[in-house]
Amino acid sequence: MRQYSAFAVAREALRYHRGWERAWGNPVPRTHYDTLIIGGGGHGLATAYYLAKNHGITDVGVLEKGWLGGGNTGRNTTIIRSNYLQPPSAAIYELSRGLYEELSQQLNFNIMFSPRGVLMLAQTEHEHRAWMRTAHANRLAGIESELVGPERIRELCPIINIEGPRYPVLGGLWQARGGSARHDAVAWGYARAAADLGVDIVQKCEVTAIDRREGRVAGVRTTRGTITCNRLCIVVAGHSGVLAEMAGFRLPIESVALQALVSEPIKPCLDIVVMANTVHGYMSQSDKGEMVIGGGADGFNNYTQRGSFQHVEETVRALVETFPIISRLKMLRQWGGIVDMTGDRSPIISRTPVENLFVNCGWGTGGFKAIPGSGWATASLIANGADDVAGPFSLDRFAVGRMIDESVAAAVAH
């Protein structure tokens, strides 16, 4: 693979950009791989990349039923932070945030990481206490975050209505090194770097059945033929329950729509990410000037990738209350993704009842920020059979009651 660089851009400019090669290939799927990954979202692609990069396992196929990043990875609002409460979460999200800082250089692909800072407002006494507890826990875990008061919030975000008609802003949890990145660039960057190391990325290839032999995984049947494998990892977010059923076991996952919308572009007015969880809305401004807006998840299970109308209304009402200057904006577009929710709002990275079949899911409303760390830990679990970071997120926690409760840190109403 040729390096992307300023020189490459200059060279191509001189020859009408005719010399760029494909970022990744379009291989016909082979009939056997050592390791198969189902799902070409950020987590599946990052897992493939770190299998090759960290463990030298390159006989890997990634099977994606649609296009890369066409699931939640390309539908999310790109918030990156690591200010979670419990030690296992702090470990994986901070690993991830740290990897994001270097990812453009590591992948030689500009993922437009923008550490602009993430502010989570406290608009009730209860929320204020919760963030105070999180700030203490973060300090113990070595994560930089701080509790800030209304004056500092006014400086960080002049457009905020501090007095608030219903919920005045009492303070907030500020993570200065949080931020955002370009979501589909993360998928494309991992895909390109993994393909360069020998991984086959196969799009338009839906897995329709999972074959087992004597309790072990044997392979998959797909819309492009049968493929055998030694190891299989299911990384399909909202469709995890469907794939687990194909393999003969059940997951403690519910699939619900989470939606987002963007406004028409306006001049720069917000240079941080703000989450107002009491009123159920959050907002940032994209490089194009659009206000990127989201709220809580839908209240019923479904697979529609749309979201319900009343949620748009509720979210916008909450944000107009918090940022009155957006009241005259027009909505440009709206979309939804199907998120995979666990009861404790923490992910599952685990072996399964089927030998050599692994699962990575349950990221719910918050897995974009986790892509690098999750891929790193999942690759290590697959390669070595165990991993310290992934360990606490194993499936058996639901059987023995070792929950990792992140319902507050998840920060999106469910």
Q: Which residues bind ligand PYC (CB under 6 A)?
A: 77, 79, 81, 282, 294, 365-366, 411-412
Residue 237's binding partner among ligand PYC, ligand FAD, none (Cβ under 5 to 8 angstroms by kind) is ligand FAD
Tell me the β-bridge partners of 180: 79, 114
Q: Which of 94, 153, 143 is nearest to 122 (CA)?
A: 153
Q: Draw the binding track, 245-274, toward ligand FAD (x: CB under 6 A; -: no contact).
A: -------------xxx--------------
Q: Footprint of ligand FAD on residues 357-376 (CB under 6 A)?
A: 363, 365-369
Among 24, 29, 42, 227, binds ligand FAD (CB under 6 A): 42
Structure tokens that stand for 52 in this block = 């090759």
Contacts of 52 (CB under 8 A, 6+ apart): 58, 60, 194, 197, 198, 199
Stretches 103-111, 118-126, 161-169, 231-239: which one binds ligand FAD (CB under 6 A)?
231-239
Q: Which residue is nearest to ligand FAD (CB)?
A: 41
Q: Draw the binding track, 54-93, toward ligand FAD (x: CB under 6 A; -: no contact).
A: ---------xxxx---xxxx-xxxxx--------------
Helices (H), 323-389: 371-384
Least separation, in Å, of the C-beta of 299 and ligand PYC? 16
Of the pair 201, 207, the CB lying nearest ligand FAD is at 207
Q: Draw the binding track, 147-186, toward ligand FAD (x: CB under 6 A; -: no contact).
A: ----------------------------------------
Q: CA of 223: how far to CAs of 69, 87, 199, 409, in Å?
A: 19, 41, 20, 39
207 binds ligand FAD (CB under 6 A): yes
Distance from C-alpha of 43 to C-alpha of 40, rounded to nearest angstrom = 8
Q: CA of 94: how far to CAs of 98, 216, 274, in Å?
A: 6, 34, 19
Contacts of 100 (CB under 8 A, 6+ apart): 80, 111, 113, 181, 369, 372
CB 228 within 8 A of CB 218: yes
Residues that bind ligand FAD (CB under 6 A): 38-44, 63-66, 70-73, 75-79, 206-207, 235-237, 239, 243, 258-260, 294, 337, 339, 363, 365-369
